[in-house]
Amino acid sequence: MTETGIHYLDARGPDGMRLYAIGDVHGRHDLLAAMHRRIETELEYAPATDWRIIHLGDYVDRGPDS
């Protein structure tokens, strides 16, 4: 517990919403596309009524698709 009484383990998304977070792509479109396919497959297998993909971090830098 912190001085504010808030702890990161208490963080929650809205009820009923599935969140996917993808970080630091670094110009690797191939891996990003593969992750999107995995999310699509999961949603087909275990549908969610509401879902979001959140992209974080660096999109370009180093990879072949920068």
Evaluate whether residue 11 is within a structural domain.
Answer: no
Evaluate whether residue 47 is within a structural domain.
Answer: yes
Specify the amino acid at residue 49: T
Angstrom distances, CA of residue 64 to CA of 12, 36, 54: 35, 18, 22
Evaluate whether residue 46 is within a structural domain.
Answer: yes
Evaluate whether residue 8 is within a structural domain.
Answer: no
Domain of 58 in residue numbering reads as 18-66
Evaluate whether residue 5 is within a structural domain.
Answer: no
Phi first, then psi: what are they for 28, rounded to 5°? -100, 75
Considering its fold, how many domains does the chain have in total? 1
Give the model's pLDDT for residue 29.
93
pLDDT tens figures, 23-53: 999 999 999 999 999 999 999 999 999 999 9
CA–centroid distance for 33 within its chain: 13
Evaluate whether residue 6 is within a structural domain.
Answer: no
Could you report how far apart the first and last alpha carbons of the chain are, in Å?
40
